Structure 1
């Protein structure tokens, strides 16, 4: 695993170095206000990618426990961002306290101890039933259904769905499980990057301005196809054949797109542009992981049901 991961990491670092050099050149040449702003945003994104790659790569090298802890922290931050923008009432406070400090840590402990049976149902069954029951104890029935739904959605998106990325470490395949996680993250994130690049270069037709004004049809097609190509070429990181890698990459890209699209729709409903500001050039943690929320569970179950040994 170490040699393969080292090669992939070296390639990513080389790409980042090339991107940084291009960003530096563009910054020197940009003169128009619009171009200056675009290049500034591009360079901010590249700087953030250096940090994110270092953190993720370091966690992979440190081992499974470090990866689980990293994703638990990311889920905590994403859940915090979700509730920073989402309206709540005093009657929600107990359910929110339990979400942050009981449900989330217990869920990741189940993941870390490889207790798949309870991990799979803890949030969608037990938390689903217990949290609304606890909320009734406050006696606040105003918009109770909507408030309960927001609690459930917050947990499902930021904890349950995202946790299926490190849950890949549970699986036994012909490939080291950590490489499956690396593969998922590469395909999902490159899809986002390629969609951004293709959209900037060729984007003319807005896909859905009301939900995501920056997304274009050209960016979606070009970025998705590019990510699928990369996913196919990286089949050696997986137990897939090249054809299977192409099919699975397609699922990842499509699911990732709709993950980002759904989270964008929620942001628009909340009158927000970004979920947060912790990642320069990207927004919040949830802005960076929105594609993972849909892609990770699907990828996990595809691998679990058809490729485990």
Structure 2
């Protein structure tokens, strides 16, 4: 484990212990109130934090495999939600096989193939396989939804894994490695969701996208942007090679596009007619519900850092 990461993990542990203690106290003080949702959310955060510690605390190959499994599960959730044609089972098999191949390029640090495999080669392969099947009814919808699902749940998320493949870079407080960049991205993305939720509950009056996500407010969005940008600026010198100005810009990017990823996936679920993508994570929904913000922040943060420092 590198540099400041053990201390950062300790800080997250302290936050979770504090949140669990506050929740237990509230339950004792107000036994008639229902805190089930909050309790389930915190329990799930314990599992997610443990997964983060396990993934980044061992060899980076472990982290790549974990991310590949998460992509697989998120894509599986997506496919389970959308209507698919029985004749496309062979196409779906190719789509699933593309997941380990995409993460193979990550493990090889083959940037050229990583960046074009799904957007170009899989994009060309899937409709070809559909043509061989010979069914034209529903063709456009089928090929569009399957490839969009791969782009969202696999290609976008694989950018988190490729951060691990980036070479070490000098930072303000020592050497910066990929594990530190991943920690920075994941923590800020998730804290941004929490900050926007809390600010929205406290001050929210004006809806941002009432037809897509009625609970999202302008006040929550602005509060989340300010909170996340401040945290990005504070954490930047310790976890990234970013200058103070670029740390601020990274905070704005993560907060603004984390919100965008959230509402885009909300629009998908609203179109399909479901509240959550799954039930795997108590209090949160499914894997896709927890990765929704990351589908936007991961590729954008990766290319932001890659362009300026690699």
Q: Report the alpha carbon displacement of residue 214 of structure 1 after superposing the two structures with TM.
A: 2.1
Residue 109 of structure 2 corresponds to residue 110 of structure 1: no
CA contact (8 A) 1:91 1:139 kept: no
1:4 is the counterpart of 2:39? no
Q: 1:123 is matched with which residue?
A: 118
Residue of structure 1 in register with 2:279 after alignment: 277
The match for 2:241 is: 239
Structure 1 residue 240 displacement after superposition = 1.1
Q: Cα RMSD between the aligned structures?
A: 1.3
**Equivalent residue for 2:187?**
186
The residue number in structure 2 matching 1:42 is 38
8 Å CA contact 1:103, 1:123 repeated in 2: yes
Within the alignment, does 1:137 sit opposite 2:119 as a pair?
Answer: no
**Aligned-pair distance for 1:31?**
5.7
Asked if 1 retains the 8 angstrom alpha-carbon contact of 2:75 and 2:150, the reply is yes
Q: Give the one of 43, 47, 52 matched to 1:51.
A: 47
Measured after TM superposition, the shift of residue 197 of structure 1 is 1.8
Partner of 1:96: 92
Q: CA deviation at 1:221?
A: 1.5
1:302 and 1:71 map into 2 onto residues whose CA distance is 21
Q: Is 1:162–2:157 an aligned residue pair?
A: yes
Q: What is the TM-score when the length of structure 1 is the normalising length?
A: 0.95
How far apart, in 2, do the equivalents of 1:50 and 1:96 lie?
Answer: 33
1:190-209 paired onto structure 2 within 5 Å: 190-209=191-210
Query: Any unmatched runs of 5+ in structure 2?
Result: 171-175
1:241-270 CA-to-partner distances (Å, cap 9, x unmatched) read 222211111111111110111111011000
After TM superposition, the score normalised by the length of structure 2 is 0.94
What's 2:173 paired with? none
For 1:145-198, what per-residue CA distance to the aligned partner results, in whole angstroms no more than 9, with x for missing partners? 111100110100000001101111121222111100100001100000111222
* Whole-Å separation in 2 of the counterparts to 1:228 and 1:44: 28
Q: Separation in 1 of the partners of 2:304 and 2:294? A: 15
Counterpart of 1:286 in structure 2 is 288
Contact 1:27 1:40 in 2 (8 A): no
Separation in 2, partners of 1:28, 1:81:
37
**Larger mean Cα displacement after TM superposition, 201-210 or 116-125:** 201-210
Answer yes or no: is the 8 Å Cα contact 2:224–2:255 preserved in 1.
no
Q: 1:225 aligns to what?
A: 226
Please give the alpha-carbon distance, in whole angstroms, between the structure 2 residues aligned to 1:94 and 1:162.
Answer: 24
Residue 302 of structure 1: CA displacement?
Answer: 1.0
Q: Distance in 2 between matches of 1:2 and 1:151?
A: 38
Structure 2: distance between partners of 1:291 and 1:20: 25
The answer to whether the Cα contact below 8 Å between 1:277 and 1:284 also exists between their aligned partners in 2 is: yes
The answer (yes or no) to whether the contact 2:261–2:293 under 8 Å persists in 1 is yes
List runs of 5+ in structure 1 lacking aligned partners.
none
For 1:222 and 1:139, the matched residues in 2 are separated by 52
Which has the higher mean CA deviation after the structures are superposed, 181-190 or 243-252? 243-252
